[in-house]
Amino acid sequence: MTKIQNPILSGYHPDPSILRVKNDYYIAVSTFEWFPGVQIYHSKDLVNWELLTYPLTRSSQLNMIGNPNSGGVWAPCLSYSNGKFYLIYTDVKSRKGAFKDTHNYLVTADDIEGPWSEPIYLNSSGFDPSLFHDDDGEKWLVNMIWDHRKGNHSFAGIALQEYSEEEKKLVGPIRNIFKGTELGLTEAPHLYKRNGYYYLLTAEGGTEYNHAATMARSTSLFGPYEVDPTNPILTSDQSKKSDQLQKAGHGSLVETQNGEWYMAHLCGRPVVDDKCILGRETAIQKCYWTEDDWIRIEGGPNPQFEVEAPDLPVFHIQDNKEKDDFNGNQLARYWNALRRTLDGNWYSLTDWPGYLRLYGEESMASGHQQSMIMRRLEDFHVELETAIQFEPEHFQQMAGLMIYYDTEDHVYLRVTHHEEIGKCIGIIETKYGEYDELLEKDIALPDEYVVFLKAVIDRHILQFYYGTNAGDWHRIGEEIDIGHLSDDDADLIRFTGTFVGMSAQDLSGQRKHADFDYFRYKKIKDNK
């Protein structure tokens, strides 16, 4: 019997919204400050998934310049009705302290791969919006309500309002249909209809180790909603943090063409001291309905690593993600940029064919114009390798191999220039916003030579290497604990994951460029 191996989307893939259209399955996940916005994965068997497309590819759809760390796109909702795909998403502009500026939008497409429309503004009352298509043709938006007032609970319930497709806006009264349970922090609403009941699935308990999925139902869309007597229907077993999927919650449901039910949900896998280096991931659990019309997780409520797959034909995918030689005119689909679109003049694949050229711009602390081409860290044990041609003329110019969580936390094997020794290589670590250089003195490099850069990551331990000849590696610096590159090791709660790739800076403003010949990402062990 075929099994689903969880997580199905490893690495930073939070807040899954799952959808079936005929024989095709799609999952949309949050992308926060990384561009393009919203990843959509595709499958036909719920076992094998491939990255299919990004709907938000233009700055007119998503302008994140200046957005805070872990701002940007939160909790997209993908749905389908009458031949059209609908995508709802939040663009979070501020999130620190009492206030959250959360603007909710809708884009549509006739084809899942686009083109996707310009956005329709909906509201800003809270985040995690979701669109429900009732069987009478009406459409309803739900989102959590954010209450900033002192002494009030910040999560103030679930708002419901009708969406008029003809007027392209929300219309009619706003109703608070569900205040949540004692688990608190009620968010991530999704509505479903079955056997005369409206089902409201929410996330509660916060997106960390108390995370859970709560189900409530009503015979009326407007409530009142009765909570499942066994609530929560999904949550992690915290007594087994070493061998369980943790942080389980924020789910969405799908029914197969054979009448089986599954829940896609968020999870995390700690590597050390409850730290999830890979970020929050996506898993799937099989469900069933009871005789009294409540849904249950098979083997639940705790999530399972192995889940019985539906009886569907195998979906074959190609895994060509190990090495990119930059020989094409477009970046591979798995590459991302930080806050900025991929249509600017800050990088090129054609200025020197066969190389990725990055024009150095702002520093790693910037929330605006950073020159990074990065991909998700999806495995606990990997080797990363690149080769760079770069001739810096000033200490403000640098480029190299970046291991990055956000502006506050990253580690950087970079080539730069020093007044006394010329071209050189060293390691920068920024930890909790504090800058440090990990070598007592940078190492001199020959001019006009390719420099090979390598990183080996073994769970939370990172070791860098460099060389001036292919395969001739020299260890540089000591082992680095990268546990701070996680959601769980910062004063401010954050929500993304570790990225790896290539970066260039020119703090002088001269836009000195660096050329990268290739990038190799090699998984070296199982994810244990």
Active site residues: 15, 187
| Torsion from C-alpha of 57, 60, 66, 70, nearest 10 degrees | -50
Q: Which distant-in-sequence residues (6+ apart) come within 8 Å of 303 by Cβ?
A: 6, 234, 236, 244, 245, 248, 265, 267, 283, 285, 297
- Stated as kind and residue range, the H or E segment containing 90 is strand 84-94
Yes or no: say if 179 and 186 are a contact pair by the CB < 8 Å rule: yes
Instruction: Give the strands of the sheet with 295-297, arranged side by side.
Output: 246-255, 261-268, 281-289, 295-297
3 state SS of 438:
coil
Yes or no: say if 133 and 79 are a contact pair by the CB < 8 Å rule: yes
3 state SS of 59:
coil
Written as six digits, the tokens of 189 are 């609403």
Short-list 136, 209, 127, 123, CA closest to 170: 123
Q: How far apart are the first and last CA of the chain?
A: 23
Written as six digits, the tokens of 242 are 């070493």
Going from the C-alpha of 163 to that of each of 88, 112, 173, 404, the distances in angstroms are: 12, 21, 11, 39
